[in-house]
Amino acid sequence: MIRAAELTKVFKDKKRGEIKAVDRVSFVCEPGVIYGLLGPNGAGKTTTLRLLSTALRPTSGTAFIDGVDVTKDPQAARRRIGFLSGTTGLYGRLSPVEMVRYFGRLYGMSGDAIAERTNKLFDLLDMHDFSHARNEKLSGGMKQKVSIARSVVHDPPIMVFDEPTTGLDVMSSRTIVQFIRRCADEGKTVIFSTHIMSEAVRLCDKVGIIHNGRLYVEGTVPDILTRTGRDNLEDAFINIVGE
């Protein structure tokens, strides 16, 4: 479970002064449910997810990852999170096996546990054919599978996806979407961000609309449509943020 409590992040910019990228954002994501953060570019989605995954420290407020406070024990929080974004890359000169092993070790797993987990993941994602090739030689879809395997090597209860399909071709994108579904089916807590309305409608059990760093509305898609009296999410979004 993820619980964000008044999560706030302020950046200092020489030209523009202080920018509130995330402004007192609170929400709860339950296990087995896909929670989508929906908003345009620059709304604060990525920053929110970076705060959850402890890549950034909140200016104020905090978040709890399965009850662990990210500001008090980031290390423990990190062990419970798997992170994947559309821009996440691979080490080109390593093979998928080496890549997964490296991250397994960073997450403190034993050699045996890594080998077992790797085997299972490579079965699941059908990766055995290219498991020893260099990552740089792989196709887009194969690379995406390596990224997925890397993100779940430690079998985390919580998955954070930051614009996971951005810049991907149809096939790679499909792989990711299926993977997100499976994570929720397995009972993991899943949060993901997107600026594509249709993706949110297709995938999310619950949606949070974020704009200018603030969380405007939360709920299921039908719920939001009813509340705004619109028949599609795009109109509802415009109606909510008032532009």
Partner 1 sequence: MQLSNVVTIFRKELTDTLRDRRTLMFMLLIPMAAIPLLTVGLSSLMVSQIQKVQKATSRIAIQGKEFLPDTLRQMFSDAPGLAEVSDDSLAGKDLVEEVRLGNLDLAVMIPSNFGAELEQERLSIIELYYDEAEMKSEFAEHKVREVLSDFRDAIVGRRLVGRGLTTGLLSPFDVSSHNVAPLQKMMGKEFGTILPYLIIIMCFMGAMYPAIDLAAGEKERGTLETLLVSPATRGEFVIGKYGVVLLTGVVAAFLSLGSLVFSLNYLVEDLLQNLTKTLAIEFDLQTIVLVFLIILPLAGIFAGVLLSVSIFARSFKEAQSYVTALNFAIILPAFVSFLPGVEIGYQTALIPVVNASLIIKDAISGSIEWRFVAVALVSNTILAGLALLFSRKWFERESVLFRM
Chain residues that interact with partner 1, rule: CB under 8 A: 11-12, 50, 53-57, 75, 78-79, 81, 83, 85, 87-94, 98, 102-103, 105-108, 150-151
Instruction: For the chain, give the longest Cα–Cα distance.
Output: 55
Q: 135 vs 237, which CB is nearer to partner 1?
A: 135
For partner 1, the closer of residues 78 and 206 by Cβ is 78
- The nearest distance, CB 137 to partner 1, in angstroms, is 12
Nearer Cβ to partner 1 (21/233) = 21
Q: How far is the CB of 201 from partner 1 (least distance, A)?
A: 27
Minimum Å gap between C-beta 90 and partner 1 is 7
Min separation Cβ 147 and partner 1, Å: 9
41: Cβ contacts below 8 Å, ≥ 6 apart: 195
- In the bound state with partner 1, the residue whose beta carbon lies nearer, of 92 and 140, is 92
Q: Of the two residues 28 and 76, which places its CB atom closer to partner 1 in the complex?
A: 76
Least distance (Å) between residue 171 CB and partner 1: 20
Nearest residue (CB) to partner 1, 54 versus 175: 54
Nearest to 200, CA basis, from 6, 44, 40: 40
Least distance in angstroms from the C-beta of 225 to partner 1: 34
Strand partners, 210: 215
- Quickly tell me which residue has 């096939």 as its tokens: 171
Structure tokens at 126: 């059908």
